[in-house]
Amino acid sequence: SGASDVLAFDLGASSGRALLGRLVDGKIEVEELHRFPNDPVQVGGRLHWDILRLYHEIKQGLLKAKHRGIALKSMAIDSWAVDFGFLGKDGELIGNPYHYRDRHTEGAMESVLERIPATVIFARTGIQFLPFNTIYQLDALKQANSPLLSNGVRLLMIPDLLRYFLTGKAHNEFTNATTTQLFNPLTGDWDVELLRLLDLERSWFGDVLKPGQLAGRLQPSVCEELGVPSIPVYAVAEHDTGSAVAAVPATEKSFAYLSCGTWSLMGTEVDKPVMNELAQKLNFTNEGGVADTFRLLKNIMGLWIIQECRREWEREGKSLSFPELVRMANEASPFAAFIDPDDELFLPPGDMPSRIAEYCLRTGQQTPETVGAIARTIFESLALKYRYVLELTERLSGQRFGGLHMVGGGIQNELLCQWTANAIGKQVWAGPAEGSAIGNLAVQWIAQGDFADIWEARRVIRESFPVKTYDPEDGQRWHEAYVAFVKVTGIVSV
Ligand code: ADP
Ligand code: LRH
């Protein structure tokens, strides 16, 4: 066991995992100590986090480290953005947090935008308009007279909440705070004016920790229960996308990335948020990052669509692995149909094959019928949408990128990586797959002085994990496909 052993918990939509990180001879070694499901639970038509089970799994991860004789120096948690829980005045969690894919936010964004112009919200936050942002979830709760709001005294984002269970200390963390669309990156604080306009309590929101700040230590009751020492718990980039981008093994200061998991997040890292009219019009976001950077990026629906197809096929009795789906897609015929992955049809959980059929019908296309044809339509359409968003990123940032860094579990889909290179006509550099967890580890090491800064961390990540290069092929064919894709989907071409 080394002096540099740190533990990262990364709670993704496809699973949660505990990754042990260790520095050996100037390189990072990782080991997955624990992996566990993170399935939302539907109750009475509402979709919830299974938050206490996740807390239980975090404790299991700590126990596994203990049983392996590992003396952890610290730990940290990251997860997806926008979701939150409320503490009551007794300091206890009120209810199970809602999952952002719950339908209770339907119409909430439109309703808020009738009261507050989009330009005002964007000028104060720089955050893209997504119907499930915390701001709209809160407004939906407000309109429904939710007891959460009448009894809640403190709002904690999911990693804030789990960190609170571990340490007894309630803080908000910066990267996640920005995703609420209630945080002002120009003042570096919660936006009191937006809170006032929406009649939300300023006192729900606490002091904001930056990634790398010490958040607390395991509290006595936890140490006693598990029989472990009181290790430090750090605030890292607790927004998983923030951690994923921290782990991009870039050498150049200005680079394009695609964090490829349940969501596809594509953009570039900037020193200052880009909050002009064009950014708002293209619905780009400026999420807080590590080392005082921002992520100028756009959400793309991502592999969620194939995940949900797979779930549907499973319900029908067809059990298919991701590698099988990739193989079947490869055998199907090319460019048979296109979808816009970001059509709102695909946001809620449900029967995706039927929704794809519905989309094709609506747009006058032949419906892909077989599993392979459906999977191919999804992967090709994602690759084509990546080209679109990469071009927007270049236009907005005034940069030309030599290639695209891909991180996240989706890079195990080599067909998607190759098609992405083909669609964008540039090299793709894929790795590491556990981007978020590795970014989480890296920020802990920066905090402890093992790395001087994020750039040293990125260099070590590059030297520690394989990065696979994909050269673009079939340029002409993919360009023709792009033209067809733009026409069918009706997305405005740049
Ligand atoms: P998240 O962190 O959002 O839960 P991940 O980054 O773990 O997601 O990525 C999960 C996705 O990666 C899956 O939806 C799947 O599409 C893809 N994936 C994972 N493993 C493989 C594999 N062996 N082959 C192809 N695709 C894979
Ligand atoms: C990716 C992610 C993304 C958010 C979404 C809710 O996991 O955090 O950055 O927009 O989930």
Side-chain half-sphere CA neighbours of 345 within 13 A = 15
**What's the whole-number mean pLDDT along residues 61-70?**
98
Task: Give the pair of three-digit tokens for residue 240.
Answer: 């998983």
Render pLDDT for 74-93 as a digit per residue (tens, 0 to 9): 999 999 999 999 999 999 99
Close Cβ partners of 186 (under 8 Å, ≥ 6 residues apart) = 273, 275
Residue 75, H or E segment: strand 74-79
Which stretches of 318-370 are DSSP H helices? 322-331, 352-362
Rounded percentage of the chain residues whose pLDDT exceeds 70: 99
For residue 241, give the ligand 2 atom closest to its CA: 9
CA distance 398 to 90: 51
* Dihedral, CA of residue 368, residue 384, residue 38 and residue 126, to nearest 10: -140
Task: Give the pair of three-digit tokens for residue 9.
Answer: 């918990």
Beta-bridged to residue 8, according to DSSP, are: 19, 76
Q: What angle do CA 18, 24, 30 make, to 5 degrees?
A: 20
Q: Which residue has tokens 């197809």?
A: 309
C-beta neighbour count of 113 within 10 angstroms: 14
Q: How far is the CA of 11 from the centre of ligand 1 (A)?
A: 13
Active-site entry in 5, 102, 160, 240: 240
Which residue from 299, 389, 434 has its CB within 8 A of the most atoms of ligand 2, so it is best to mutate? Answer: 299
pLDDT for residue 14: 87
pLDDT for residue 3: 83
Q: What is the DSSP letter of 347?
A: S
Task: Give the pair of three-digit tokens for residue 38.
Answer: 């993170």
Question: Residues near ligand 2 with C-beta < 6 Å?
Answer: 80-82, 100, 239-241, 262-263, 265, 299
For residue 299, give the ligand 2 atom closest to its CA: 10
Confidence of residue 135 (pLDDT cuts 50, 70, 90): very high
- Identify which of 131, 236, 205 has the alpha carbon closest to the alpha carbon of residue 451: 236
Q: Active-site residue 240, yes or no?
A: yes
C-beta neighbour count of 473 within 10 angstroms: 12
Q: Which residue has tokens 């709002």?
A: 155
Tell me the pLDDT of the chain averaged across its residues.
97
CA distance 120 to 32: 44
Q: How far is the CA of 100 from the centre of ligand 2 (A)?
A: 10
Task: Give the pair of three-digit tokens for residue 116.
Answer: 């507050």
**What's the whole-number mean pLDDT along residues 216-224?**
98
Q: Which listed ligand is nearest to 375 at the C-alpha?
A: 1
Residue 296 Ramachandran class (φ > 0 left, ψ -120 to 50 alpha, else beta): beta
Question: Residues near ligand 1 with C-beta < 6 Å?
Answer: 12-15, 261-262, 303, 306-307, 322-323, 326, 408-410, 412-413
Q: How far is the CA of 374 from the centre of ligand 2 (A)?
A: 24
Q: Which amino acid is at 14?
A: S
Q: What is the DSSP letter of 332?
A: S
Residue 436 pLDDT > 70:
yes
Render pLDDT for 453-480 as a digit per residue (tens, 0 to 9): 999 999 999 999 999 999 999 999 999 9
- Give the three-class secondary structure for 149: helix
CA distance 151 to 90: 10
For ligand 2, atom 1: residue with the closest CA: 80
Render pLDDT for 339-389 as a digit per residue (tens, 0 to 9): 999 999 999 999 999 999 999 999 999 999 999 999 999 999 999 999 999
